[in-house]
Amino acid sequence: MLRLLQQRFQDLLSSKNVQSRAHGLSETPLDGCIIMGGNGIESHWMEIILARIQRQAKAQNIRVTQHAQKEMDDEGITLDEVLEAIANGQILEDYSGHRRGACCLLYGCTHKRRHLHVICTTAQQLLIIITVYQPLPPKWVNPTQRRKQ
């Protein structure tokens, strides 16, 4: 796992588009939003991935899948809310080894304190929003903690 992270980190560093923080985006969450901590190489790697996702979202270099659009419509979630959640978000889970391609679960909170989860790609030139939903019980204890099975 560590070797994979180091290789992906090197690949990102060699990309001309990667920087350690997203420019013009808040580095701290909005009040009332829960943020989880981390440490070490994996935490730094997640910061780099998050910064890239945030830059792609800010530039609206995105594609929303049909599945994500249906979920957004069903839950009354707007694209502006998704972009705001990404801008103020954090990565909760990294699915770098997913069989359909690297992606992650991102949590963010809007200025109206709406908690959203966004599953999106992490290694594409275009940010693909795979699905979006509100993290609610019974599956979620709170917006950042899954209920144990």
Q: What pLDDT score was predicted for residue 42? A: 73
**Domain residues of the chain, as ranges?**
2-146
The 10s digit of each residue's pLDDT in 106-116 is 999 999 999 99
Q: What pLDDT score was predicted for residue 44? A: 84
For β-strands 127-133 and 62-64, DSSP reports them as parallel
Whether residue 143 is predicted with pLDDT greater than 60 in this model: the reply is: yes
Q: What pLDDT score was predicted for residue 39? A: 56
Averaged confidence pLDDT in the chain: 80
The 10s digit of each residue's pLDDT in 2-41 is 455 445 544 544 443 333 333 233 333 333 343 445 556 6
Q: Which DSSP state fits 126?
A: S
Numbers of helices and strands, H then E, in the chain: 4, 7
